[in-house]
């Protein structure tokens, strides 16, 4: 254990249509995101100010028993940590992915090309349908844009070269 003092961090698990919030006492932000899957550290001063007097659960990162929600995120991260690709995408300015959607039918995209920022949120996306139609979209087109967990080893298997993404982007049309 480090002798470095712990600080209080506002932590969010954003699941798209809502989120779970905690104050976590830890030595650093990287310690939190490598301990819990699918969380982000909130640093925006306006958001921090909204929660200063809120009655959020306070958690010490070294506590054995975590509150509901956070306990499963720690278990998930523990299962990921030893897998190939763990953390491979973290710390980058931009990540490009190509993900197939096997359950897609003729009305749902079969392939997603995604450009993710350093926080894991989509910057741009191309949806390719089974008939070959390709639609490009950006943040203004999405009602929800929760972050992808860039430490997730599963995500690393979908990584593509930026040129492949750009080619898909240039060939796609804008959403109507």
Note whether residue 1 is domain-resident. no
**Residue 2 pLDDT > 70:** no
CA distance 170 to 115: 13
Mean pLDDT of the chain: 93
Nearest to 80 by CA among 29, 26, 25, 38: 38
Average pLDDT, integer, range 55-72 = 94
Look at residue 170 and give its three-state secondary structure: helix
117: pLDDT strictly greater than 90: yes
In terms of domains, do 69 and 12 share one?
A: yes
The larger pLDDT score, comparing residue 175 to residue 47, is at 47
Do 101 and 74 reside in the same domain of the chain?
no
Residues 18 and 63 in one domain: yes
Number of domains in the chain: 2
Q: What is the SS3 assignment for 42? A: strand
pLDDT of residue 58: 95
Q: What percent of the chain has pLDDT over 70?
A: 97
* Containing structural domain, residue 65: 7-81
pLDDT tens figures, 13-37: 998 778 999 999 999 999 999 999 9
pTM: 0.88
What's residue 106's pLDDT?
A: 66
pLDDT of residue 3: 74
* Same domain membership, residue 74 and residue 33: yes
- The DSSP output letter for 67 is P
Tell me: do 106 and 170 sit in the same domain: yes
**Nearest alpha-carbon partner for 24 in 36, 13, 10:** 10
> Do residue 99 and residue 169 come from a single domain?
yes
Among 42, 58, 81, which residue terminates a domain? 81
pLDDT of residue 1: 53
Mean pLDDT on 147-166 = 97
Claim to verify: residue 62 and residue 102 sit in the same structural domain: no
Does residue 169 fall inside a structural domain? yes
pLDDT digits (tens, 9 = 90+) for 65-108: 999 999 999 999 999 999 999 999 999 999 999 999 877 666 77
């Amino acid at each position: 254990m480090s002798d470095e003092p712990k600080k209080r961090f506002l932590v969010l698990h954003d699941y798209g249509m809502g989120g779970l919030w905690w104050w976590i006492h830890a030595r650093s932000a990287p310690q939190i995101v490598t301990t819990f899957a699918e969380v982000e550290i909130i640093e925006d001063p306006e958001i921090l100010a909204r929660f200063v007097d809120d009655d959020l659960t306070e958690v010490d990162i070294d506590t054995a028993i975590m509150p509901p929600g956070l306990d499963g995120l720690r278990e998930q991260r523990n299962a990921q940590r030893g897998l190939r690709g763990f953390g491979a995408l973290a710390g980058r300015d931009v990540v490009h992915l190509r993900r197939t959607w096997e359950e897609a039918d003729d009305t749902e995209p079969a392939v997603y090309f995604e450009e993710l920022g350093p926080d894991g949120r989509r910057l741009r996306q191309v949806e390719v349908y089974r008939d070959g139609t390709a639609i490009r979209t950006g943040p203004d087109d999405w009602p929800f844009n929760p972050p992808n967990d860039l430490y997730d080893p599963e995500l690393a298997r979908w990584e593509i070269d930026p040129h492949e993404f750009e080619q898909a982007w240039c060939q796609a049309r804008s959403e109507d």
